[in-house]
Structure 1
Amino acid sequence: MAVKSVPIWGCSQISFSNQGVSNLRYNCSGVCLSLRKWECSCLGVSLAQKALTPVEDEKPNIPGMESAAVIQRVEDIEARGFHKDMNLLPKPLTAADISHSENDGTKVRVAYQGLPGAYSEAAALKAYPKCETVPCDQFEAAFKAVELWLVDKAVLPIENSVGGSIHRNYDLLLRHRLHIVGEVQLLVNHCLLGLPGVEKEELKRVLSHPQALAQCEMTLSSLGIIRVNADDSALAAQMVASNGVRDTGAIASARAAEIYGLQILSNKIQDDDDNITRFLILAREPIIPGTERQYKTSVVFTLEEGPGVLFKALAVFALRGINLTKIESRPQKQRPLRVVDDSNEGSAKYFDYLFYIDFEASMADPRAQYALGHLQEFARFLRVLGCYPMDKIP
């Protein structure tokens, strides 16, 4: 086996030889692995220049007590049930937004995809109850917000117990050099929302994210409601509140109903009560793993060609009694197809894959260190995405 250097942990490079796995040592301060005759050097993390221009939520420009017309406008809004002016809500960041923001350390800023009231915001608040949440219009904008020091962390969905994996975020994990530092498992409760005073029988159409609509199929079918796709469930609630059309409702969270002044017409309308979404917490720096609690480690790798190689890759964990909690495969975009000579006429074509695996073990555990060392013997590429404490549904 030729000597090669493969990134395994964020800012680390590990060089492997064919001398076998032995004399394994774990250096917590550098979060690196080093094995006998394996060279491990932690590269310094080049931090982006800190932001200079603060990004603040927009403030409503309402003169104080200057005009009776202004007072009347506010009273009219409250009478319609909208307890909060939508201009008070922060505007989502975009991927093109290159503004920077100083962080004085007094409050953690957490980015999420969507608008205020989205389930991702609820996950961020579960992880950091006193945090300042920062909405982003796309998943990649949340990644970039962390990289540009606009925020401290990002909370993004990675899988749902009903809808499955969010493939876009798997691809973005590999494209960006952020680290998984935690996870959040959120029990999703879909609510049918409408304007104040509307009965659910009056609704003719309902707006929400396609997955939310699919997860409430039985309820919507019984009501005979037309489904209309929206980019986000919180956006759907905002659209219903803004348009003021009585026969149009939304499927969103109870928090979205509170924010946008809507009425909850029906609660827990999802087909499956055990509807859980798992979110990842991303940061610029990895955390130092320990063994005092249950940890999970996420890795991504590609394999050499050969029969039974995937079986061998999974066996390195089974041989050491390590439980795998997630296996996901994604085609390599740089090498989507491989042509293989065949004894028959023509050629066989198939995909090269990246394999994402989550397993229940800390990188401070020698079992995990030996397992990854063993895996490297037949992996062409291996990277540790993060080692972080496990989260459980309360």
Structure 2
Amino acid sequence: MDLLECRNKLDVIDKQIVKLFEERMDICGKVAETKIASGKAVYDAEREKQKLDAVSAMADSEFNQVAVRELFSQMMSISRKYQYSILAEHGRAMKLGFERLDKLPVEGVRVVHQGVEGAYSHAAAIQYFGKNAEIYHVARFEDAMKEVQLGNADYAVMPIENSSAGAVIDMYDLLTRYDNYIVAETFLPVNHALLGVPGAKLSDVKTVFSHPQALMQCSTFLNDNGLKQISVENTAVAAKRVVEEGDKSQAAIASEIAGQMYGLELLKPSIQNNQGNTTRFVILANRKVYQKDAGKISICFELPHTSGSLYNMLGNFIFNHVNMMMIESRPIPGRNWEYRFFVDIEGNLQDAGVKNALRGIGAEAQNFKILGNY
């Protein structure tokens, strides 16, 4: 058999496969209708496992057994997505529990941030809420989360991502532990300066204090000058410590505003690796609310440690024409080599495609949570 004959035979077989696939999907639609009537869930993990075991056993070779299992796994994943869309058409859309607002209330609110006055979080809070807002600080990120959850503050302003150093890992873990939700975001240009005590010179400095992220963002300057690096809670705390200890051999990496606030000498401005360095801050509240013009959704979920589980989960976005903007993973404490995934997508919780995609993920993932629409 020559190449042309092989291709012709494949064309015939492919046509048969497409016809059979469409017949299968038609039956899946009928299955969805019976599940609507009975209230039965679309996803039945045990039934799918039994089916995959059965069809893979029909293949002769070991290679084909694996291939058939993968093929049918994908077909079942597609059929579930089709069934979810049918449920949505019959008014069985997922109840998300979020309230839509015309505008986020920002007048007369209390706002908390981690660190002290002069920290970048403080600047981000002023940038979003204005100088007249009641803004106060706490020592730790977790303290800020507690203040919002308990209702002591209306909002918290927290860093979540930097354009140079990447994700602020602590924040992702805290978002899963507290019932607070992202309601807005703001982007703050970060301009790091080296600050010393009055009268100090750059040549005097041996040790530099700052937040770990700031140290990472200024690594080239620090390493080129052979400076010892010590991590502290945040950049403004570093500035305050240098003032209090009054040692010319010590300096802080912080904003120039923090330097002015604490009376420090500007030893060198703009020492960050990336001159376009920017930090993304999220605004958190303890209510499930979103603004009507919100365009980004953050979610998190866990998956079984099996081949293709993440691929199948992300397929919910593909089939519903939802664009994924970011994905981040974090180890699950106490479960070695298993991960929690954080995903940002474009869209609004009112969008039909978004709701259908979230329904699929919510039905099949473990510990699924919508972190916010903003």
TM-score, structure 1 as length reference: 0.67
Larger gyration radius, structure 1 or structure 2: 2
Deviations 1:71-106 (A, max 9, x none): xxxxxxxxxxxxxxxxxxxxxxxxxxxxxxxxxx96
The aligned residue for residue 154 of structure 1 is: 156
1:254 deviates by 1.3
- After superposition, the Cα gap between the structure-2 partners of 1:199 and 1:362, relative to the gap in structure 1 and judged at 3 Å, is same
1:174 deviates by 1.0
Aligned with residue 21 of structure 1, among 85, 92, 98: 85
Contact 2:93 2:359 in 1 (8 A): no
Aligned with residue 370 of structure 1, among 356, 363, 367: 356
Aligned with residue 202 of structure 2, among 200, 203, 206: 200
Matches for 1:1-394 after TM superposition, within 5 Å:
3=41, 20-22=84-86, 24=88, 36-37=91-92, 40=95, 42=97, 107-130=108-131, 131-291=133-293, 295-304=295-304, 306-333=306-333, 336-337=335-336, 351-388=337-374
Structure 2 residue ranges without an equivalent (≥5)? 1-34, 44-79, 100-105
Tell me how far apart the structure 2 counterparts of residues 112 and 167 of structure 1 sit (CA, whole Å).
17
Structure 1 residue ranges without an equivalent (≥5)? 6-15, 26-34, 45-104, 338-350, 389-394
Deviations 1:262-285 (A, max 9, x none): 121211101121322221110011
Give the 3-state SS of the residue equivalent to 2:240 in structure 1. helix
1:223 deviates by 3.4
Give the 3-state SS of the residue equivalent to 2:350 in structure 1. coil
Contact 1:205 1:228 in 2 (8 A): yes
Deviations 1:103-126 (A, max 9, x none): xx9632211111111111111111
Tell me how far apart the structure 2 counterparts of residues 184 and 144 of structure 1 sit (CA, whole Å).
21
- After superposition, the Cα gap between the structure-2 partners of 1:245 and 1:285, relative to the gap in structure 1 and judged at 3 Å, is same
1:208 deviates by 1.5
Contact 2:98 2:290 in 1 (8 A): no
Contact 2:42 2:84 in 1 (8 A): no
- After superposition, the Cα gap between the structure-2 partners of 1:354 and 1:107, relative to the gap in structure 1 and judged at 3 Å, is same
1:196 deviates by 2.4
Q: How big is the alpha-carbon RMSD for the aligned residues of Structure 1 and Structure 2?
A: 2.9
Tell me how far apart the structure 2 counterparts of residues 253 and 154 of structure 1 sit (CA, whole Å).
21
Greater share of strand residues, 1 or 2?
1
Contact 1:204 1:248 in 2 (8 A): yes
User: Structure 1 counterpart of 2:320, which letter?
Assistant: R
Contact 2:87 2:93 in 1 (8 A): no
Deviations 1:291-329 (A, max 9, x none): 4xx610011122356532211211221233322121112
Contact 1:108 1:132 in 2 (8 A): yes
1:237 deviates by 0.5
Contact 2:111 2:125 in 1 (8 A): yes
Contact 1:21 1:36 in 2 (8 A): no
User: Structure 1 counterpart of 2:126, which letter?
Assistant: L
- After superposition, the Cα gap between the structure-2 partners of 1:271 and 1:373, relative to the gap in structure 1 and judged at 3 Å, is same
- After superposition, the Cα gap between the structure-2 partners of 1:21 and 1:137, relative to the gap in structure 1 and judged at 3 Å, is same
The sequence identity of aligned pairs, in percent, is 37
Contact 2:332 2:340 in 1 (8 A): yes
Tell me how far apart the structure 2 counterparts of residues 42 and 213 of structure 1 sit (CA, whole Å).
40
Deviations 1:233-281 (A, max 9, x none): 1111001111222232111111211210112121110112132222111
- After superposition, the Cα gap between the structure-2 partners of 1:365 and 1:255, relative to the gap in structure 1 and judged at 3 Å, is same
Contact 1:111 1:142 in 2 (8 A): yes
Deviations 1:152-197 (A, max 9, x none): 1001111222222222211111111111101122221110111223
Tell me how far apart the structure 2 counterparts of residues 330 and 222 of structure 1 sit (CA, whole Å).
32
Tell me how far apart the structure 2 counterparts of residues 305 and 214 of structure 1 sit (CA, whole Å).
32
Contact 1:113 1:142 in 2 (8 A): yes
Contact 1:295 1:362 in 2 (8 A): yes
Contact 1:161 1:275 in 2 (8 A): yes
Tell me how far apart the structure 2 counterparts of residues 4 and 121 of structure 1 sit (CA, whole Å).
47
User: Structure 2 counterpart of 1:327, which letter?
Assistant: I
1:353 deviates by 2.2
Tell me how far apart the structure 2 counterparts of residues 184 and 260 of structure 1 sit (CA, whole Å).
26
TM-score, structure 2 as length reference: 0.70
Contact 1:180 1:283 in 2 (8 A): yes
1:369 deviates by 1.1
